[in-house]
Structure 1
Amino acid sequence: MRPDSSLIDPFGRHVTYLRVSVTDRCDFRCVYCMAEDMTFLPKQELLSLEELDRVCSAFVARGVRKIRLTGGEPLVRKGIMSLVESLGRHLKTGALEELTLTTNGSQLARHAARLAELGVRRINVSMDSLDETRFRQITRWGELSKVLEGIRAARSAGLSLKINAVALKGVNDAEIPEMIRWAHGQGMDLTLIETMPLGDIDGDRTDQYLPLSVLRASLMDRFTLEDIPYKTGGPARYVRVKETGGRLGFITPMTHNFCESCNRVRLTCTGTLFMCLGQDDAADLRTPLRASEADGLLHAAIDEAISRKPKGHDFVIDRRHNKPAVARHMSVTGG
């Protein structure tokens, strides 16, 4: 095994994108993502920031060109900016093309300028409503004003922003046109996401689930949607909204399987590697990481894991039993 050899799965797909959940903790309790009374991982089970850097660097050595830090909420992890700074060395050498993160925006106001200084150029902000009352209902604990303040700070720092919104039937679907106009008016892309059946959320996902094919059809009554070949390396398919001039993305894990071009794997904060968001099959990287100061065992474990990357996921909304397709919460693997 050559440590600089590319990671290619059994279906010929090059793995070039690593998503890293740096914490399962979050300062929101979004209704589609978490139960309100969550039990989080004991801190001693988490990889240290130095260990996270070592695993990420091993993937960079194997051809990963993009790393996205996620959570939970990544910016609530103590010392997270030191990890961003450390990983930034791979941007300077050109080994890494992009270091980015997905955030709920609650902590963005105080971190945006530093993120930009460290080489982050683009971030995603998860935000499902522009209505303060509805935002609180969806997030349970969130304050819309803090998120909007964070967005302003990020834009002032020169960061490119994309807004991610989970489409929830009977909750925020009626305000999607307003969110499109708002985001595009601020020079930001908007991506709509179908709710995914991960984890017990103390509720019925069948009530929330809205096929984006249905939403897209309703949007076409108001907007002219033009298909474009734009890609960010993720699963979204984009259109341009003629009336606003902005880009609108659709992530449809339920109604349209996007697995044929999947280039991603997901690392949890405990060192577990999930080769697919919608499968339970996983690999333990923490044990080989801690077994040796050299990275040979770690690279061997990564190779073995990639050899088991499945062709696609098995997401389904179980209307008979009202159980998630995958038991772990979205906050464990970071979406």
Structure 2
Amino acid sequence: MLQDTHGRRFHYLRLSITDVCNFRCNYCLPDGYQCDSDRDFLSLSEIKTIARTFSSLGTSKIRLTGGEPSLRKDLPQIIEACARTDGIDKVVITTNGYRFPDVIDDWHQAGIAGINVSIDSLDANVFNSITGADKLKAILAGVDKAAAMGIPVKINSVLMKGVNESSLQQFLNWLQDTPVTLRFIELMETGLSHQFFKQHHIAGEPIKQRLLQQGWTRIVRGKSAGPAQEFHHPDYAGKIGLIMPYSKDFCDSCNRLRISATGKLHLCLFAEQGLSLREEIANGDELALRHKISELLTTKDISHWLHEGKTGATKHLAMLGG
């Protein structure tokens, strides 16, 4: 089992398979995707090596991320390869949903166990203004289809002051009859968003207190769960999660590592640098890869230091998929 020097265990791998994204979200890529780095993305064979190696180190869950992972034509094959890896119990994906509902059948057949979809507003005009994409209707149709197929769906929504903060009540109304988990994510500062963060950040704690006052109850977090604090209410079909990276002790429960689309290990979303594993991955040397991952993990810091204004090497969230 992978364990760092602070006693945290790592059951969960976030694997980016591309950093390309076709949306222009104002908090991430307001000017659209810029090809400013090596685009020699991990091959299917290399992804299989990564999945086997992390499984042998105790990882049981893989989340496929981007950029936008569905831009990879071989995504169904990637899902299937990860899902068929011994020891990997769950393969899930984070997507902007732009190809919904056309691709869900292929993902389901390949073995996807859950889908996270980014929806920052249920108002089509607000959604379009945030993302630069007039796709809300199709995305919501895809959400309905996935839920009807029995695929667990989570909705990621970044609440921003002066942009979509009024969407909170609309989302709550939607959850009364919609069986999804809606996660409100605090806006995070990145290397290219200092001014945007200062203007639009909303803390999650007041939202948490509002939920508790309205009768929402905290759900116990599983070992391979992400960082969200989740809540349920007997009068609602859906659940709510809060991801509050600026809250006290947020990093204490860290259980996930990240591999970039070019084969770098990121010990934290906001680490100062990615640590290259590409040589070992490309050679298919799983023993050497296990040793290197275990050794590098000893250098993992106790915190992301976001509360001190440090953003590390993360220019924007599409680099690693959050």
Task: Tell me the TM-score normalised to structure 1 length.
Answer: 0.88
- Correspondences of 1:64-83 after superposition (within 5 Å): 64-83=59-78
Q: Which moved more, 1:46-55 or 1:200-209?
A: 200-209
Give SS of 1:265's match: strand
The equivalent of 1:31 in structure 2 is: 26
Q: Residues 325 and 302 from structure 1, CA distance in 2 versus in 1: closer, same or farther, beyond 3 angstroms?
A: closer
1:199 alignment partner, one of 180, 191, 211: 191
The equivalent of 2:155 in structure 1 is: 163
The equivalent of 1:54 in structure 2 is: 49
Q: Distance in 2 between matches of 1:219 and 1:12?
A: 32
Q: Distance in 2 between matches of 1:100 and 1:52?
A: 15
Cα shift readout 1:19-60 (whole Å, capped 9, x = no counterpart): 011111112111111231431355652221221221122111
Alpha-carbon shift at residue 325 of structure 1 (Å)? 5.8
Alpha-carbon shift at residue 17 of structure 1 (Å)? 0.4
Q: Is the 8 Å Cα contact of residues 180 and 237 (structure 2) preserved in structure 1? A: no
- Correspondences of 1:120-269 after superposition (within 5 Å): 120-201=112-193, 204-218=196-210, 223-231=214-222, 233-244=225-236, 246-269=238-261
Q: Is the 8 Å Cα contact of residues 188 and 246 (structure 1) preserved in structure 2? A: yes
Q: Is the 8 Å Cα contact of residues 264 and 274 (structure 2) preserved in structure 1? A: yes
Q: Distance in 2 between matches of 1:261 and 1:162?
A: 20
Cα shift readout 1:87-124 (whole Å, capped 9, x = no counterpart): 1212xx4x111110111111231211122222222211
- Correspondences of 1:110-121 after superposition (within 5 Å): 110-121=102-113
The one-letter code matched in structure 1 to 2:68 is: E
The equivalent of 2:315 in structure 1 is: 328
* Structure 1 spans left out of the alignment, 5+ residues: 1-5
Give SS of 1:82's match: helix
CA RMSD in angstroms, aligned pairs only: 2.2
Q: Is the 8 Å Cα contact of residues 99 and 120 (structure 1) preserved in structure 2? A: yes
Alpha-carbon shift at residue 84 of structure 1 (Å)? 0.9
Q: Distance in 2 between matches of 1:208 and 1:257?
A: 23
Alpha-carbon shift at residue 198 of structure 1 (Å)? 1.8
Q: Which moved more, 1:203-212 or 1:149-158?
A: 149-158
Q: Distance in 2 between matches of 1:27 and 1:150?
A: 18
Q: Which moved more, 1:186-195 or 1:40-49?
A: 40-49
Cα shift readout 1:157-212 (whole Å, capped 9, x = no counterpart): 32111111111112211121211221341111111110111231495211110001
Give SS of 1:114's match: helix
The one-letter code matched in structure 2 to 1:139 is: T
1:18 alignment partner, one of 8, 13, 25: 13
Q: Residues 199 and 38 from structure 1, CA distance in 2 versus in 1: closer, same or farther, beyond 3 angstroms?
A: farther
Matched, 1:108 2:100: yes
Give SS of 2:166's match: helix
* Aligned residue pair count: 321
Alpha-carbon shift at residue 79 of structure 1 (Å)? 1.2
The equivalent of 2:297 in structure 1 is: 306
Q: Distance in 2 between matches of 1:295 and 1:161?
A: 33
Cα shift readout 1:47-93 (whole Å, capped 9, x = no counterpart): 21221221122111111000000111111112111111111212xx4
Give SS of 1:153's match: helix
Q: Is the 8 Å Cα contact of residues 197 and 316 (structure 1) preserved in structure 2? A: no
Give SS of 1:248's match: strand
The one-letter code matched in structure 2 to 1:193 is: I
Q: Distance in 2 between matches of 1:44 and 1:244?
A: 44
Q: Distance in 1 between matches of 2:32 and 2:94?
A: 23
Percent identity, aligned pairs only, is 32
The one-letter code matched in structure 2 to 1:16 is: H
Give SS of 1:147's match: helix
The one-letter code matched in structure 2 to 1:301 is: K
Alpha-carbon shift at residue 230 of structure 1 (Å)? 4.3
* Structure 2 spans left out of the alignment, 5+ residues: none
Q: Which moved more, 1:300-309 or 1:43-52?
A: 43-52
Q: Is the 8 Å Cα contact of residues 178 and 237 (structure 2) preserved in structure 1? A: no
Cα shift readout 1:240-280 (whole Å, capped 9, x = no counterpart): 23442542111100133421121100111000110111222
The one-letter code matched in structure 2 to 1:18 is: L
Q: Residues 120 and 327 from structure 1, CA distance in 2 versus in 1: closer, same or farther, beyond 3 angstroms?
A: closer
Q: Distance in 1 between matches of 2:39 and 2:211?
A: 47
Cα shift readout 1:292-321 (whole Å, capped 9, x = no counterpart): 343232222212221112212111375xxx
The one-letter code matched in structure 1 to 2:187 is: T
